[in-house]
């Protein structure tokens, strides 16, 4: 039980990578909106797409963690 | 904890007693409810359409205009005939994610539902490819093994993204409710149920339309 919970916790660590990735993407998006406010719409679309793709890795970790816990 | 794992499992609502019993899942029943609500809304909202819109017709036209423009921007004029499918998809997923607010279990929390949605989306994209470019070009596209790989990874990631997000929101909401049942869940629900639910519906359909734009684009332009 203890080791399984530890395994699930390690799987959820993927969230760190997604957090860093989305943070960098948002920083760049804010920067580019400040530089070119007229391109706001396009930037927002690209940012949402990038965030969704980056977030997917965190979600995979979460799903794996749930599968591990479900095995108990 | 045990209680939670029980909540996570997809439950069977009832069983049809023919052919040795056909189990009907909770998500299926909730989907019927969503279908009824959407059909009723469509009938009520389009009942008395006027040349000069007033009241609810303004909202309806605004939403449909936004959806039309959004998809036409991505797909171009060639993709006009595929708009109804994509709009249906986004309306269904948005309703499915938001129905948690009314005390139902969101059907997208069931991995079978999201897998089916992703499968339908990817089959539709391939069908659009065949319609626009012909079956020969479609077969030829698989000479590039990346395209073959895309057939598996795209629906998998679409399915897992939607499922994981809805399930994650559900788990966090349950934890918050257990921690502090007064006040805080309202704020958390606004983010996890409304914002995240709508965002995921948007992302799912956005990605599907991107795949479709790639499938139906003209090669001569490049």
SS3 call for B25: strand
| B6 — pLDDT class (breaks 50, 70, 90) | low
pLDDT confidence of residue B4: 60
Question: Does B16 reside within a domain?
Answer: no
Give how many domains chain B has, as a whole number. Answer: 1
pLDDT tens-place string over residues B47-88: 777 777 777 788 888 888 888 888 888 887 777 888 888 888
B102 CB-contact burial (10 Å; exposed 0-12 / middle 13-18 / buried 19+): exposed
pLDDT confidence of residue B164: 86
Cβ pair B168, A59 in contact under 8 A: yes
Q: How far is A56 from chain B (nearest CA, A)?
A: 6
| A34 — pLDDT class (breaks 50, 70, 90) | very high
Q: Point out the residue among B160, B167, B203 whose CB comes nearest to the CB of A60.
A: B160
Task: Report the distance separating Cα B194 and Cα B208, nearest Å.
Answer: 21
- Check pLDDT > 80 for residue A35: yes
Asked if B164 lies within 8 A of A49 by C-beta distance, the reply is no
Quick one: how far is CA A35 from the chain centroid? Answer: 26
Question: Does B42 reside within a domain?
Answer: no
Question: Does B28 reside within a domain?
Answer: no
Look up the ipTM and state it.
0.74
| Chain B residue with Cα closest to A49 | B203
Question: Does B148 reside within a domain?
Answer: yes
Q: Which two tokens stand for residue B133?
A: 């470019």
Question: Does B149 reside within a domain?
Answer: yes
- Check pLDDT > 90 for residue B107: no
Task: Report the distance separating Cα B152 and Cα B111, nearest Å.
Answer: 16
Which residues numbered 126-185 in B keep a CB inside 8 Å of some CB on A? 157, 160-161, 163-165, 167-168
Question: Does B29 reside within a domain?
Answer: no
Q: Point out the residue among A45, A49, A62 whose CB comes nearest to the CB of B164.
A: A62
Question: Does B146 reside within a domain?
Answer: yes
pTM reported for the whole predicted model: 0.82
Q: How far is A51 from chain B (nearest CA, A)?
A: 10
Structural domain boundaries, residue B76: 55-216
Task: Report the distance separating Cα B170 and Cα B7, nearest Å.
Answer: 10
Q: Mean pLDDT, chain B, as a whole number?
A: 82
Question: Does B151 reside within a domain?
Answer: yes
Structural domains in chain A?
Answer: 2-71 (1.20.20.10)
Q: What percent of chain B has pLDDT over 70?
A: 88
* Average pLDDT score over residue span B29-43: 89
Q: Point out the residue among A45, A48, A59 whose CB comes nearest to the CB of B168.
A: A59
* Average pLDDT score over residue span B154-176: 86
């Amino acid at each position: 039980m203890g080791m399984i919970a530890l395994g699930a916790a390690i799987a959820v660590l993927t969230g760190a990578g997604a957090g860093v990735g989305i943070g960098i993407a948002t920083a760049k998006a804010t920067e580019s909106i400040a530089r070119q406010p007229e391109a706001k719409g396009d930037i927002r679309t690209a940012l949402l797409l990038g965030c969704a793709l980056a977030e997917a890795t965190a979600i995979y970790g979460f799903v794996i963690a749930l599968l591990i816990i479900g095995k108990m | 904890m045990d209680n939670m794992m029980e909540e996570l499992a997809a439950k069977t609502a009832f069983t049809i007693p023919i052919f040795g019993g056909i189990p009907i899942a909770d998500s299926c029943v909730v989907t019927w409810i969503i279908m009824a609500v959407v059909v009723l809304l469509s009938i009520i909202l389009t009942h008395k359409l006027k040349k000069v819109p007033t009241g609810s017709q303004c909202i309806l036209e605004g939403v449909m205009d936004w959806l039309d423009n959004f998809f036409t921007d991505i797909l171009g004029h060639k993709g006009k005939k595929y708009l109804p499918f994509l709009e249906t998809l986004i309306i269904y997923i948005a309703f499915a994610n938001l129905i948690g607010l009314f005390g139902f279990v969101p059907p997208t929390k069931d991995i079978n539902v999201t897998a089916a949605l992703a499968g339908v989306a990817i089959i539709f994209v391939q069908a659009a490819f065949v319609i626009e470019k012909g079956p020969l070009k479609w077969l030829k596209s698989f000479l590039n093994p990346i395209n073959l790989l895309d057939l598996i990874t795209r629906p998998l990631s679409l399915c897992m993204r939607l499922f994981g997000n809805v399930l994650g929101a559900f788990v966090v909401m349950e934890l918050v409710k257990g921690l502090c049942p007064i006040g805080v869940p309202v704020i958390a629900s606004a983010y996890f149920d409304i914002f995240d639910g709508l965002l995921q519906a948007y992302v799912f359909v956005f990605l599907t339309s991107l795949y479709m734009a790639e499938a139906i684009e003209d090669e001569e332009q490049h």
